[in-house]
């Protein structure tokens, strides 16, 4: 198993140089070496699988398997042991975005001072005009929507996901918001 800039990788073939297994004596050194190598390979495989990010986006809290650095506030004098912190993910769906108003949807995350957000990302989909907007979004000079003079802001508070659709009719838009966070 190798951990490097390319990620967590396992070899695709097992190199076991132990001879013919059918004639192997269970008390032989070769058989014991085979058991040790197989045990190590299975252990490496379990480690790699457990450390890979889980790409499930659900509307209920889901552990991502992303691991963040230990809490920077912990020192050698702290009673807690510094350990990596696991990220959780929740998805919030807005079936439509009302224009010129604040759109709110509860996220059902029990945020408090022990939580830290790591990712808040979203996209809006206009199925009528076949346009797709990253959120937040602002009209820019020269773009096809530049004459519309509007923006869509996105933020999360302790209770809701908030999308403010500033003065533009986007009733045909829906949005999907992804929130990832750490619990201390």
Instruction: Report if residue 110 sits inside a domain.
Output: yes
Is the domain of 72 the same as that of 46? no
Structure-token match 């808040």, residue found: 120
The structure tokens listed for 134 are 């990253």
Is the domain of 47 the same as that of 114? no
Compute CA 114 distance to the chain's CA centroid, rounded to the nearest angstrom: 19
DSSP assignment of 81-115:
PP--EEEEEEEEEES---TTEEEEEE------TTE
> Is this prediction's pTM over 0.85?
no
Predicted pLDDT of residue 118 = 96
The count of structural domains within the chain is: 2
Q: Please answer whether residues 179 and 87 qualify as being in contact, where contact means their C-beta atoms are separated by less than 8 angstroms.
A: no
Instruction: Report if residue 17 sits inside a domain.
Output: yes
Q: Please answer whether residues 115 and 162 qualify as being in contact, where contact means their C-beta atoms are separated by less than 8 angstroms.
A: no
pLDDT in tens, the chain (184 residues): 555 566 677 777 776 665 667 778 888 898 888 888 889 888 988 888 887 888 889 999 999 988 898 877 777 788 887 888 889 999 999 998 888 889 999 999 999 998 999 999 999 998 888 888 899 988 765 555 555 557 889 999 999 999 998 755 555 789 999 999 998 7
The structure tokens listed for 29 are 């050194």
């Amino acid at each position: 198993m190798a951990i490097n800039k390319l990620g967590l990788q396992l070899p695709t073939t097992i190199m076991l140089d132990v001879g013919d297994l059918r004639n192997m004596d269970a008390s032989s050194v070769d058989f014991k070496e085979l058991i040790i190598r197989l045990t190590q390979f299975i252990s490496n495989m379990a480690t790699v699988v457990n450390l890979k990010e889980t790409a499930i986006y659900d509307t209920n809290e889901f552990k991502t398997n992303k691991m963040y650095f230990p809490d920077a506030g912990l020192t050698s004098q702290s009673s807690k042991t510094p350990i990596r912190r696991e990220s959780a993910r929740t998805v919030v769906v807005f079936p439509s975005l009302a224009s010129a108003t604040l759109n709110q949807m509860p996220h059902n995350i029990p945020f408090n001072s022990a939580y830290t957000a790591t990712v808040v990302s979203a996209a809006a989909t206009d199925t009528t005009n076949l346009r797709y907007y990253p959120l937040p979004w602002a009209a820019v000079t020269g773009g096809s929507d530049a004459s519309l003079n509007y923006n869509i802001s996105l933020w999360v508070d302790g209770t809701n996901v908030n999308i403010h659709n500033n003065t533009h009719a986007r009733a045909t838009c829906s949005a999907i918001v992804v929130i990832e966070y750490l619990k201390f």
